[in-house]
Chains A and B, each alone.
Chain A
């Protein structure tokens, strides 16, 4: 493999890791606050559809972004209502949200555009353009560092940079602020937070809404930056891979970055090569596709390190009277 190919694969790794990273961070907020969220997939899908539809109609991708986040937030609100207010089963709520998004997006896409469940292709200002960082062209001639800067670091859409900034921002928010401490406490021991006079519901709703915003970004990125428009079921399990990455990262922001880059790399390799010949044995493409899930099962089983979820995860909090 020559240097140019390596840069290409890493570049596509960054592009493919971005939606995973955004969704993974989204899940991190929710689950750290004790709300399991297997509805990441549905929220991304809803955001992808509404952002693409709005961007196509208005010709403005920023309005698309707002619509995408709104769609995702609406589903988050349902999840919050079901799992916080009505103390329902969070997993079942997540399943329902995934189906709701899966059905509604195709139903509305077909009804609005009549193209068999996709939106028309987006062009120009209806998509997020690639940003050339300063000096990218000037430096591209420099050996090794030049291509790394010009092709790998520069030349992505703004949402990619946002995604990579979300990681340090979240690490700071969760571990260095009062809100972060309370959010994590609500996921471990909500009764203690309640005793301290802080609203468990309030913090949990805040976490679920942050999750909605980030899923909105992830879905919008899929439809308006990575692809040029919405296609039916375009998330194709990315929400579940993000969930896997979250467990792989043991619910920690910086680890999440590593996990998402690893899973992004696997996806990039699976797209580029039909099979990978290791000399002794050739790994089929299906193996690469299944690897994130297999790795997650192994991690979850505690064979390689132990992944311990937030203690109060999945349990509705009943305030004592």
Chain B
């Protein structure tokens, strides 16, 4: 028996969770002696009030689309990939190596090469925990956490000892050649005649992110592999009975997940910094968890959730600039969103289900 209609599950429950999370965030703002309404106004004006604001919002959203999709694909297979951070770190390494050591004649080829390298490196970093889970039974959550830290140490070592140009004190790679720099979103939108600020880091990788949304949708709901991934995620025993190999699905789901997380680096490393920095991921791997939970692991939901988090990120930066509310407010909001849409989902869901049951009894 369906306890409640589909739209309630997909829209109503996340919306209520979101409202609770924002209400508590508002209470936090109020508790530290600031006005929640004023804070919201500053955030909205700073993030979507101008094309400059939109540029940053979309730049952050691009990161979160990739990491959100990464977590979603793993979720569909019943796997919790908490290692997006490490996979994106390795993706950054791939982008840097491809951009620094291959003489690309044009940015489009550089984008293709760097994206391939990013996806391969991210996939490889996810493949190891996947193999350990599938073959050796080690818990994927723990191994991916460990791989996050190992990735951070590895990158630290490579930046300090190998990639750092001679004479430089920064633990960062050399600047990438001019030909690898990606055109900004203003250039893309300029082609269709939309004026857009040229001072933002938003770039063509947004289009790759949108394409990734469509591809992930097609993969999960329109291919045999996607069907097997979903079947495996719903019930491992039923999937095995149907002849689906757990090892194969675990590997594929995690490799795709890692590749998506790795692709994030194209946006940050190639699109924005133009060199590899120590912490270019900046927690986007973890935000992917919140984005996937809120988007109910559906690419369209992920897209909306990613834009919402992009708005929160840019709005948070504006808050720190114009008010005395620190940027960390965003981390609190993010935590509350994860808590209410993820861990406390049943707390919201049960009353909604009961309400629908009551309505049904009264009805015909």
Q: Is A103 an interface residue (CB 8 A)?
A: yes
Select which of A83, A87, A95, A107 is within 8 A of B338 by beta carbon.
Answer: A95
- Asked whether any CB of chain B lies closer than 8 Å to the CB of A305, the reply is no
Shortest beta-carbon distance from B206 to chain A in Å: 26
| Given known A107-B326, A302-B138, contact A82–B343 (CB-CB < 8 A) | yes
Is A91 within 8 A of B339, CB to CB?
no
- CB–CB B138/A297 < 8 A: yes
List residues 203-242 of chain B with CB under 8 A from any CB of chain A: none
Report if A247 contacts B (CB, 8 A). Answer: yes
A73 at the interface (CB under 8 A from B): no
With A100-B335, A117-B328, A240-B149: A111-B33 Cβ-Cβ less than 8 Å: yes
Q: Chain B: interface residue count, which band?
A: 35 or more
Q: Tell me, yes or no, whether A290 is within 8 Å of chain B by CB.
A: yes
Give chain B's interface secondary structure class: helix
B342 / chain A contacts, CB cutoff of 8 Å: 88-89, 92-93, 95-96
Q: Is the CB of A99 within 8 A of B145?
A: no
A92, A110, A289, A294: the one within 8 Å of B343 (CB): A92
Which residues of chain A from 66 to 94 have any CB-CB distance to chain B below 8 Å in the complex?
A: 78, 81-83, 86-93
B284 neighbours in A (Cβ, 8 Å): none
Query: CB-nearest residue of chain B relative to A301?
Result: B136
* Chain B residues with CB under 8 A of A106: 326, 328, 331
A284 on the interface (CB 8 Å rule)?
yes
Query: Inside 8 A of A98's CB, which chain B residues have their CB?
Result: 335
> Contacts A92-B293, A111-B32, A287-B157 given: A301-B138 contact, CB under 8 Å?
yes
Q: B142 within 8 Å of A by Cβ? A: yes
A82 to chain B, nearest CB (A): 4
Can you sample 21 A-B contacts with CB below 8 Å? A86-B346, A88-B343, A88-B347, A91-B82, A93-B339, A95-B342, A96-B343, A99-B331, A99-B335, A103-B330, A103-B335, A104-B332, A107-B32, A240-B145, A244-B146, A247-B142, A289-B153, A289-B156, A290-B154, A300-B139, A300-B146
Given contacts A86-B347, A99-B286, A290-B149, 6 further A-B contacts (CB under 8 A): A38-B82, A96-B339, A104-B332, A107-B28, A296-B142, A307-B138
**Which residues of A come within 8 Å of B, CB atoms?**
36, 38, 78, 81-83, 86-93, 95-100, 102-104, 106-108, 110-111, 117, 237, 240, 243-244, 247, 284, 286-287, 289-290, 293-294, 296-297, 300-303, 307, 309
